[in-house]
């Protein structure tokens, strides 16, 4: 047992259900189905002149059904994430996806009726919506893109055995991968999470070998994975453009985020224009590493301290202390996740790759998944994911329908939490080489979060257009390589094996155009963090208000109240200006003679 009681281990899910075979699962399914049957009786009450109290009662009942369904669907997803090779978990997940689709079909008459009302009737009822008001407003935004009830039902049913099944297949294929890498003269078998440790290895040959092994394994299924992506993209194009009438593939995601198309276009264009900043950084990093030019294998190469490791308890202490120094409330909320054993930190084969925070419903503390290896970046990941949890808990006073922030705002607390951690580490006055390592890592992370993700979104726009025109998997890969060349210019040497890297990016499969949310969130947080440094205590209530709003209002209005204009290109450029100052600082440091 560690000094503070926290050790690496799996999470507990018994706050939801005792297990996959627990009788309570079937009982909850039966209760939900009964509730859906009862809800169907509201169809006859719906009319433009419905009494406000009756209208509110319907929404309250819908909220209750949503929470029940979220518990079942959340349990199945978390069980599957904990062991993607467990056939019972896979079966439960498929069963719950079918159940949720059935629920959506049998209750969608209410949302369709609400969208069909004229503006005058809708305005009369909005006041009765109370805490659901923004959810109701958001539904009205979808009115031009909503189909008939019969068509919407068909789409829901189609998704279960169509795009959802394809994503399950992608997970099942890729999460069973194991990788082999020679380490200290011995060939080791490892998970993808373990392999990624070597992307930051001090030995350039180990970095190259790690990436090459990743692509070797993925290349065996390159055609299958490429065809899965093509099918997912075609499904997106068929539904969002041909059936619903969106102007572009990304527009559907923008509306679900309630972010205007022109704001996203501005964000991505500003990111594109600032590729030169990161090219400048990579040239600087090459000098520090004693290289004429970085290879793509080297962009995450460590500079300075490289062998620092932290045990899990030490990492928890560091993260909670950094949160506490900013606001004790944040640390207390983050600690709740750990105390309730809602944190799965164990490294094991079959566990879903990556890291995430899952908010099931407001009455439950969120769950966090991470495979903890003890690296400094694992500590940052912990700070990031616990930031997501804090965000959810600050918004838990909202209904389930409005607790979740939109995707771009969802990265606010997580990225802010990482920056609190970095400041805490720098405040300890580490040795010069450790300070350099922290500063270089900050820029590496900024690249991974802003430039890499925005260029993924740019690639997605290209790929969807190419697939719509009948483009092959090879053609998509060629465009991806062109995308990388634009990102890196002549600052980084590219090899052809990276042309299939896109197939190893789960987000573009599971949630098309999700990725620009990372760039949005990081640049937003850079601006917010600069305000915090300038204003100190007076900033904190404004920041807390952003988090506590959750998804209860339009993101543009939430940020406007904090003095941020997301339509202004200068705002987004301001985030890059902060990064430019960091590069200036790094350029002012003397390059070690050993690097020459």
pLDDT of residue 377: 80
Q: Is residue 199 part of a domain?
A: no
Q: Which of 26-30, 286-290, 363-367, 438-442 has the lowest mean pLDDT?
A: 438-442
The Cα 82–Cα 101 span in angstroms is 23
Residue 44, Cβ density class (10 Å: 0-12 exposed, 13-18 middle, ≥19 buried)? exposed
CATH number at residue 117: 1.20.140.70
At 169-181, the pLDDT tens digits run: 999 999 899 999 9
Q: How many CB atoms lie within 10 A of CB 467?
A: 22
* Residue 94, domain extent: 23-161
Position 142 in a domain: yes
Q: Which residues, 6+ apart, have CB-to-CB distance to 269 below 8 Å? A: 569
Write phi, then psi, for 209 (nearest 5 degrees). Answer: -65, -35
Q: Does a structural domain hold residue 402? A: no
pLDDT at position 396? 98
- Reported in sequence order, the residue ranges of 318-470 that DSSP labels E, i.e. its strands, are 343-344, 356-358, 367-369
Helix (H), strand (E) at residue 349 = none
**pLDDT for position 276:** 98
Which residues are bridge partners to 369 per DSSP? 344, 356
The share of the chain scoring above pLDDT 70, in percent, equals 97
Is the per-residue pLDDT at 253 higher than 80?
A: yes
> Which tens digit of pLDDT belongs to each residue from 304-335?
654 678 899 999 999 999 999 999 999 999 99
Which pTM was predicted? 0.82
Strand partners, 188: 181
pLDDT for 304 equals 67
Distance CA 174, CA 223 (A): 13
Query: Residue 411, SS3?
Result: coil
Euclidean distance between CA atoms 403 and 394, whole angstroms: 9
User: For residue 38, what are the contacts with CB-CB under 8 A and spacing of at least 6?
Assistant: 61
DSSP for 117-182?
A: S-HHHHHHHHGGGGGGHHHHHHHHHTGGG---HHHHHHHHHHHHHTHHHHHHHHHHHHTT--EEEE
Whether residue 76 is predicted with pLDDT greater than 90 in this model: the reply is yes
Contact indicator for 499, 478 with CB cutoff of 8 Å: yes
Please compute the mean of the pLDDT values over residues 242-266 and round it to a whole number: 95
Tell me which H or E stretch contains 254. helix 249-257
CB of 395 within 8 A of CB of 412? no
Query: What does the pLDDT read at residue 422?
Result: 86
Instruction: Please say whether the beta carbons of 455 and 268 come within 8 A.
Output: no
Say what the pLDDT of residue 308 is. 73
pLDDT at 425: 81
| pLDDT band (50, 70, 90) for residue 3 | low
Q: How many CB atoms lie within 10 A of CB 144?
A: 11
Residue 440's φ and ψ, nearest 5 degrees, are -65, -40
* Domain assignment of residue 537, yes or no: no
CA gap 528, 522 in Å, rounded: 10
What per-residue confidence (pLDDT) applies to 81?
A: 95
- What is the pLDDT, as a whole number, of residue 327? 97
- Is 80 exceeded by the pLDDT of residue 205? yes
Q: How far apart are CA 156 and CA 363, in angstroms?
A: 27
What confidence category does residue 12 fall into, taking pLDDT thresholds of 50, 70 and 90?
very high
Strands 186-190 and 179-183: antiparallel
Contacts 24+ apart (CB under 8 A), 118-123: 118/48, 121/48, 121/49
Residue 157 counted as domain residue: yes
Burial of 490 (0-12, 13-18, 19+ CB in 10 A): exposed
pLDDT recorded at residue 437: 76
pLDDT(431) > 70: no
Cα dihedral 288→294→295→301 (10° resolution): 30
Write down the pLDDT at residue 307. Answer: 66
211, pLDDT greater than 80: yes
In this structure, what token pair is assigned to residue 475? Answer: 């053609």
Binned at pLDDT 50, 70 and 90, residue 351 comes out as: very high
DSSP state of 240: I
The answer on pLDDT for 529 being more than 90 is no
Mean pLDDT estimate for the chain: 93
- Residue 4's SS3 state is coil
pLDDT for res 47: 95
User: How large is the average pLDDT for residues 474-486?
Assistant: 97
Binned at pLDDT 50, 70 and 90, residue 421 comes out as very high
Query: Distance of CA 172 to CAs 75, 84, 192, Å?
Result: 18, 6, 14
Mean pLDDT of 268-282: 97
Q: Is the pLDDT of residue 278 over 80?
A: yes
Query: Are 92 and 79 in contact, with CB atoms under 8 Å apart?
Result: yes
The H helix count followed by the E strand count for the chain is: 27, 7
Give the pLDDT confidence of 94-138 residue by residue, as tens digits.
Answer: 999 999 989 998 999 999 999 999 999 999 999 999 999 999 999
* Residue 431, CA distances (Å) to 52, 303, 306, 422 in order: 65, 13, 13, 14
pLDDT level of residue 230 (50, 70, 90 thresholds): very high
DSSP state, 591?
P
Whether 175 is covered by a domain: the verdict is no
Query: Is the separation of the CB atoms in 108 and 149 below 8 Å?
Result: yes
Please tell me the predicted confidence (pLDDT) of residue 1: 42
Q: Which two tokens stand for residue 227?
A: 């065809």
- Whole-number pLDDT of residue 320: 97
**How many angstroms separate the Cα of 143 from the Cα of each of 112, 114, 122?**
8, 9, 12
Judge contact between 67 and 361, C-beta under 8 A.
yes
Residue 572 lies in a domain: no
The half-sphere exposure of 180 on its side-chain side, counting CA atoms within 13 A, is 5
Number of domains in the chain: 1
Residue 443 forms part of a structural domain: no
**Whole-number pLDDT of residue 330:** 97
């Amino acid at each position: 047992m560690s000094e503070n009681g926290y050790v690496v281990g799996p999470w507990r899910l018994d706050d939801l259900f005792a297990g996959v075979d627990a009788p309570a699962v079937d009982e909850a399914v039966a209760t939900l189905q009964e509730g859906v049957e009862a809800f169907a009786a509201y169809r006859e009450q719906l009319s433009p002149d419905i009494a406000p109290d009756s209208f509110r009662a319907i929404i309250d009942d819908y909220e209750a059904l949503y929470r029940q369904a979220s518990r079942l669907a959340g349990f199945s997803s978390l069980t599957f994430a904990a062991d993607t090779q467990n056939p019972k978990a896979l079966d439960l997940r498929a069963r719950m996806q079918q159940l949720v689709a059935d629920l959506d079909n049998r209750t969608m008459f209410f949302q369709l009726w609400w969208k069909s009302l004229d503006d005058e009737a809708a305005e009369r009822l909005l006041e009765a919506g109370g805490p659901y008001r923004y959810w109701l407003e958001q539904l009205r935004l979808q009115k031009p893109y909503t189909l008939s009830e019969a068509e919407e039902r068909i789409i829901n049913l189609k998704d279960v055995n169509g795009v959802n099944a394809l994503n399950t297949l992608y997970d099942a294929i890729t999460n069973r991968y194991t990788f082999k890498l020679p380490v200290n003269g011995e060939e080791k078998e490892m998970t993808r999470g373990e392999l990624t440790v070597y992307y930051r290895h001090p030995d350039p040959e180990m970095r190259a070998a790690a990436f090459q092994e990743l692509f070797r394994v993925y290349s065996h299924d390159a055609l299958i994975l490429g065809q899965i992506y093509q099918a997912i993209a075609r499904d997106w194009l068929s539904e969002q453009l041909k059936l619903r009438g969106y102007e572009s593939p990304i527009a559907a995601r923008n509306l679900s985020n309630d972010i205007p198309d022109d704001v996203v276009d501005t964000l991505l264009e500003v990111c594109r224009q600032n590729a030169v900043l990161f090219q400048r950084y990579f040239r600087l990093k090459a000098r520090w590493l004693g290289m004429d030019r970085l290879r793509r294998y080297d962009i995450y190469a460590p500079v300075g301290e490289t062998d620092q490791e932290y045990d899990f308890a030490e990492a928890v202490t560091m993260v909670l202390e950094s949160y506490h120094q900013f606001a004790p409330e944040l640390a207390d909320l983050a600690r709740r996740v750990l105390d309730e054993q809602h944190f799965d930190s164990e490294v094991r084969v079959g566990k879903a790759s990556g890291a995430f925070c899952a908010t099931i419903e407001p009455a439950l503390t969120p769950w966090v998944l991470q495979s903890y290896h003890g690296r400094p970046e694992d500590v940052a990941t912990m700070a990031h994911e616990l930031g997501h949890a804090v965000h959810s808990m600050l918004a838990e006073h909202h209904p389930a329908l409005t607790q979740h922030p939109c995707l771009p705002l969802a990265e606010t607390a997580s990225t802010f939490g990482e920056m609190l951690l970095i400041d805490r580490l720098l405040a300890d006055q580490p040795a010069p080489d450790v300070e350099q390592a922290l500063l270089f890592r900050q820029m590496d992370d900024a690249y991974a979060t802003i430039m890499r993700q925005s260029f993924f979104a740019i690639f997605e726009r290209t790929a969807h257009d190419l697939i719509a025109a009948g483009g092959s998997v090879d053609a998509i890969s060629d465009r991806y390589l062109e995308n990388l060349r634009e990102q890196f210019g002549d600052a980084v040497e590219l090899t052809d094996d990276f042309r299939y890297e896109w197939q190893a990016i789960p987000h573009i499969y599971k949630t098309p155009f999700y990725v620009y949310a990372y760039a949005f969130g990081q640049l937003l947080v850079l601006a917010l963090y600069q305000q915090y440094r300038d204003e100190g205590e007076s900033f904190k209530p404004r920041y807390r208000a952003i988090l506590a709003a959750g998804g209860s209002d339009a993101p543009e209005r939430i940020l406007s109240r904090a003095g941020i204009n997301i339509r202004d290109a200068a705002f987004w450029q301001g985030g890059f200006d902060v990064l430019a100052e960091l590069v200036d600082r790094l350029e002012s440091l003397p390059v070690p003679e050993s690097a020459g």
